[in-house]
Amino acid sequence: MLEIKLEKKELPFAMAEEIKNLRTGISFSGENLKTLLFTSCTPNEGKSTIALETVRSFAELGKKALYIDCDLRKSIFNSRVVEGKPKYGLTHFLTGQCKLENIIYRNVDKEDDIHFDLIPAGPVSNSPTELVASDKFKDTIQKLRDEYDIIIIDTPPLASVGDAAIIGAMVDGSILVIEAGNADYRLVQKVRDKLATSGSRILGVVLNKVDKSNKSYGYYKRGYGYGYGYGYGYGYEDNK
């Protein structure tokens, strides 16, 4: 397996603790919960950062963890690689250009000895919806599910394209990342309904970039009607 290294953000203590709380919430959400989808309503809500940090957090416990970048339209994965260069990605595999083992990379951080695996999206596809809706992709998720303790799938914002709803029907649960203060209530309801219609089990909401000085942020957790609400007062900016 080829090794690469992603940039590692030094999280503020409060955010690092909330990531651990999110990990705990996922762990207690049900038995045999292995495949999770992370999505958002719109770009720039911090979804990809939260997804990657959650994978890292599970790896810290010694879990065999996998991150899959399923944004086949506008991936930012390569911009986060600081060592190594992925040759193949998910689009290569789904279009028959390589084998599954060719697209699985190991993120190695020798400083803290925390390892987890990654599948990059690969080049932008002209037919991303067809690829993630294919039997090949569905069968691959099931195969990987048997090999890993936890798989987190990072998908495009659901208000823009329907990829997350398609993938939602294949996974054990979905988590919606929302940027505090900028979320439109009706849009969040629409995205929730899309996930629910797909048959996906919605585990909860991550409320990101919370201004802890604003006591009204709790309204968002109550208003969306999900089982969990996690507030991150120190969320990083993200392109997805």
- Dist CA 110 CA 102 (whole Å): 23
Question: Which residues, at least 6 apart from 219, have a Cβ–Cβ distance to it below 8 Å?
Answer: none
- Closest by CA to 39, choosing from 161, 149, 164, 132, is 164
Over 50: is that where the pLDDT of 234 sits?
Answer: no
pLDDT range class, residue 213, cuts 50, 70, 90: low
109 and 8 Cβ atoms separated by less than 8 Å:
yes
User: For 153, how many CA atoms within 13 A lie in the half-sphere containing its CB?
Assistant: 30
Q: How large a percentage of the chain has pLDDT more than 90?
A: 44
For helices 13-27 and 47-60, give the axis angle rounded to 10 degrees: 70
pLDDT range class, residue 212, cuts 50, 70, 90: low
Strand bridging mode 114-119 / 150-154: unpaired
